[in-house]
A and B are shown apart, each in its own frame.
Chain A
Amino acid sequence: MSTKKWIGLVLVALALLALPLVLTTVGTAWVRITNLAILFIFLALGLNIVVGMAGLLDLGYIAFFAVGAYVYALLSSPHFGLHLPFWLILPIGALCAGMAGAILGAPTLRLRGDYLAIVTLGFGEIVRIFLNNLSQPFNITNGPKGITRIDGLNIAGMDFVNTHTLFGIPFTGPAKYYYVLLILLLLVIVVNLRLQKSRIGRAWVAIREDELAAKAAGINTRNMKLLAFAMGATFGGIAGGMFSAMQGFVSPESFILHESILVLSMVVLGGMGNVWGVLAGAMLLSFVPEFLRYTVEPVQHMLFGQLLIDPEVLRMLIFGGALVLTMRFRPAGLWPESRHKLEMNEAK
């Protein structure tokens, strides 16, 4: 790498490190919003392994997020009186989510991709039905009321609730989460990048482009697809655990189909398979709703004197529309991976 690139990298790193401190001065709420955005970027990169690299359409990704979140919530809250440390629960949650992915993928992955899409779609809904109803006769999930008072993170005796002052700089709770999330995000980016170039990643691309040819070339397509699916689910589980710790509260309402669609839109819009594209797409779609929240209502009040379109509806319209329009006009996404671009455009 050239010196210029190094300087750029250092500047970006410094900006990222300083971001929560700057945002805190505006309001802690903004740090929380940023944290959630990072979490969704993390999710998008996890889904990118499944949809982007291996070309498997997973429409119930949020279910794995839910599994991770509930595992964390159950093992670290007064609900069962368990308070295990997070470095133990996070892997457990990831493992559970990964296993759920493998169990779900095993019967469907040997079939054509469309079946996987519909099965994952159903699975997402089923998980929600179970979360909603598993309060009877034995109270496991506490039903629609959800689980409250979940323990936050606690690293080396430093809890993530209070503000700590280090070198004269106050670090609030959300700011500390920000740094943990940033590390996790970096991790998932590195995993994505390394996978792309690895034997496994190339096998996925081969399967995505022509499964029959991949099989003929000696790739065990079923195991490879299962691996992609389980790996994506595992990342979903990790994100879910972080979500629980950050929010301190989970309920089935956080894991509806719309969230799956949101994550999918991020991957598709940015450019399936391209890590930086997905990153950009996820950032774009994370902040659009925040932007809408502050603009849609005032603008409509100004123009029509009343609220005609709810920002929430507009948000979903944008996500749905983004999926349709991206596929129609830029099937490889806004920032396409070069290889994917060739593939998605070859038919024309």
Chain B
Amino acid sequence: MEIFLQQIINGLTAGSVYALVALGYTMVYGIIQLINFAHGEVVMIGGMVALTVITALVGMGLPLPPIVLVLAGILAAIPICMGIGFFLERAAYRPLRHAPRLAPLITAIGMSIVLQQVALLIWGRDPKAFPQIMENKSFIIAGASITSVQIAIILMSVLIMATLTWFVYRTRFGIAIRATAENVNVAALMGVDANRTIAATFVIGAALAAVAGVMYGTYYGITHYTMGFMLGLKAFSAAVLGGIGNLAGAMLGGILLGLVEALGAGYIGEFTDLCRWPLLDGLLVERCANGGHVVLFGSNYQDVFAFMVLILVLVFRPSGLLGERVSERA
């Protein structure tokens, strides 16, 4: 039971990060039906920039409280990521908006590679350790521990998601975004500047990605120039799980995916331990003797879960949990 609760807490934390990244995918997809492959790379760059800023501030030896350091990291990462998001839309995707579908997809994957290699040039090939700035206090709840970083990540993403929801549903600009997503041409006729709205969507997504990158870095304590790839893939799976194009879906999908992954990684070893299965332990008497284990799939298969979820959703409910049908759209 303690393990279960512990994995729930870990899953919620990772899921909050996935949800923030998934929002970026889903917003862009909702408005121009493009999978922005380079989005994961934006997250990575956000983490890297924050790491650089925080390391520099720590190096200066000022007695700054940790919260200020993290905020400084986030505030540095956000504008840079927003800039990248804007650049991506303006330079790579906008010229191809009316091209056949394959073209922007190929561009997106190309941009992702370019961003990755640029990050490699700037920050080097080795993984970078995030400086330990706050002592990571743990609180024990019913046998499971939750750290202050985890609490901060969950609270912050809830706050951001609430703000985003308010922005999209209550402000004029949010209405413009939703109108453009519904129908670009009609929105334009109603006086919405479509180009500006689409660019804004990219920029907002990139800002969320920056925050997610900093969270990821502080949570796992490490950043690497390839980290955006898997993270992006998982976040996209989360967006599909929730129903791509749907904001609430991305949030729900992210959290669910985090939980599935954490619980999966926590229990798969136990579950695929052949010695636990009545028929098979007879075949493996020697290896199972004296409490031995023959674990088919251990927690090193953690990264596979997101992919399994993606495939299962595509097979059984391509529209996702909260989405409308997308398979019919041409």
User: Are A324 and B114 interface neighbours, CB within 8 A?
Assistant: yes
Q: A114-B35, A211-B330 are known contacts. Are A320 and B117 too (CB-CB below 8 A)?
A: yes
Segment of A32-40, A87-95, A117-125 engaged in the interface with chain B? A117-125
Are the C-beta atoms of B35 and A117 separated by less than 8 Å? yes
In the bound complex, do residue A57 and residue B301 qualify as a contact, i.e. CB atoms below 8 Å apart?
no
Residue of A nearest to B95 (CB): A328
Query: 12 A–B contact pairs at CB < 8 A?
Result: A55-B102, A57-B106, A59-B109, A115-B314, A115-B318, A130-B304, A258-B113, A268-B106, A313-B121, A320-B111, A324-B110, A326-B106
Q: Can you name 11 extra interface pairs (CB under 8 A) apart from A119-B314, A320-B113, A327-B110?
A: A108-B314, A117-B35, A119-B310, A125-B303, A125-B307, A133-B298, A317-B114, A324-B92, A326-B106, A328-B96, A344-B103
Determine the distance from Cα of A327 to Cα of B298 in the docked complex, in whole angstroms.
42
CA distance A51 to B209 in the complex (A): 30
Is there an interface contact between A323 and B327, defined as CB atoms closer than 8 Å? no
Question: At the interface, yes or no: B295 with Cβ under 8 Å from chain A?
Answer: yes
Residues from chain B with a CB closer than 8 A to the CB of A3 are: none
- B172 — which chain A residues lie within 8 A by C-beta? none
Q: Are B111 and A347 in contact (CB under 8 A)?
A: no
Are B318 and A136 interface neighbours, CB within 8 A? no
For chain B, residues 67 to 106, give those with C-beta under 8 angstroms from any C-beta of chain A.
Answer: 92, 95-96, 98-106
Interface centre among B33, B104, B116 (most CB of A within 10 A): B116
| Partner of A113 from B92, B102, B118, B307 at Cβ < 8 Å | B102
Question: How many Å lie between the Cα of A311 and that of B120 in the bound state?
Answer: 13
In contact, A344 and B106 (Cβ under 8 angstroms): no
B117-A112 in contact (CB<8A)? no
**115-169 of chain A: CB within 8 A of chain B:** 115, 117-119, 121-123, 125-126, 129-130, 133, 136-137
Interface residue ranges, B against A (CB under 8 Å): 33-35, 37, 92, 95-96, 98-107, 109-114, 116-118, 120-121, 229-230, 233, 236-237, 240, 274, 287, 294-298, 300-301, 303-304, 306-307, 310-311, 314-315, 318, 326-327, 329-330
Q: Which residues of A contact B100 (CB under 8 A)?
A: 55, 331, 343-344, 347
**Which chain B residues border A320 with CB–CB below 8 Å?**
110-114, 116-117
Q: Which residue of B lies closest to A55 (CB)?
A: B102
Docked CA distance A323–B110 (Å): 5
- Say yes or no: A118 contacts B110, CB within 8 Å: no
Kindly state the separation between the CA atoms of A323 and B115 in the bound complex, as whole angstroms. Answer: 13
Instruction: Please measure, in the bound complex, the distance between the C-alpha atom of A57 and the C-alpha atom of B102, giving whole angstroms.
Output: 7
**Contact assessment for A321 and B300 in the assembled complex, using a CB-CB cutoff below 8 Å:** no
Q: Nearest B residue to A331 by beta-carbon distance? A: B103
Give every chain A residue within 8 A of B230 (Cβ-Cβ). Answer: 125
Chain A 315-347 interface residues, beta-carbon cutoff 8 Å to B = 316-317, 319-324, 326-328, 331, 343-344, 347
A128: min CB distance to chain B, Å: 10
B315 — which chain A residues lie within 8 A by C-beta?
107
Residues of A within 8 A of B (CB): 51, 55, 57, 59, 107-108, 110-115, 117-119, 121-123, 125-126, 129-130, 133, 136-137, 211-212, 257-258, 261, 264-265, 268, 272, 309, 313, 316-317, 319-324, 326-328, 331, 343-344, 347-348
Instruction: Please give me the residue from chain A that is nearest to B292 by CB atom.
Output: A137
Asked if B99 and A331 sit within 8 Å, CB to CB, the answer is: yes
Q: How far is the CB of A118 from chain B (nearest CB, A)?
A: 6
Taking a contact as CB atoms under 8 Å apart, the answer to whether A113 and B101 are in contact is: yes
| Distance to closest chain A CB from B279 (angstroms) | 17
Q: Is the CB of B113 within 8 A of A122?
A: no
Instruction: Give the shortest distance, in Å, between A205 (CB) and chain B (any CB).
Output: 13
Residues of A within 8 A of B314 (CB): 107-108, 111, 115, 119
* Docked-complex contact A112 and B106, CB < 8 angstroms: no
A322 to chain B, nearest CB (A): 7
Q: Is A133 touching B121 in the complex (CB atoms < 8 A)?
A: no
Which residues in A have their C-beta under 8 angstroms from that of B326? 111-112
Whether the pair B295, A137 counts as a contact (CB closer than 8 A) is yes
Q: Is the CB of B96 within 8 A of A136?
A: no
CA distance A150 to B99 in the complex (A): 46
Q: How far is the CA of A113 from the CA of B93 in the complex (A)?
A: 17
Whether B107 pairs with A324 at a CB distance below 8 angstroms is: yes
Closest to A324 in B: B110
Q: Which residue of A lies closest to B113 (CB)?
A: A320
Residues in A with CB closer than 8 Å to B294 are 137
Select from chain A the residue with minimum beta-carbon distance to B326: A112
Which residues of chain B come closer than 8 Å to A258, judged between CB atoms? 113
Contacts of B297 in A (CB 8 A): 133
Bound-state Cα–Cα, A211 to B98, Å: 17
CB-CB under 8 A from A321, the residues of chain B are 110, 114
- The reply to whether B106 and A264 form a contact with Cβ atoms under 8 Å apart is yes
- Closest Cβ of chain A: how far from B125's Cβ, in Å? 8
A236 to chain B, nearest CB (A): 18
The distance from the CB of B190 to the nearest CB of chain A, in whole angstroms, is: 24
- Residue numbers in B under 8 Å from A331 (CB-CB): 96, 99-100, 103
Q: How far is the CB of B276 from chain A (nearest CB, A)?
A: 13
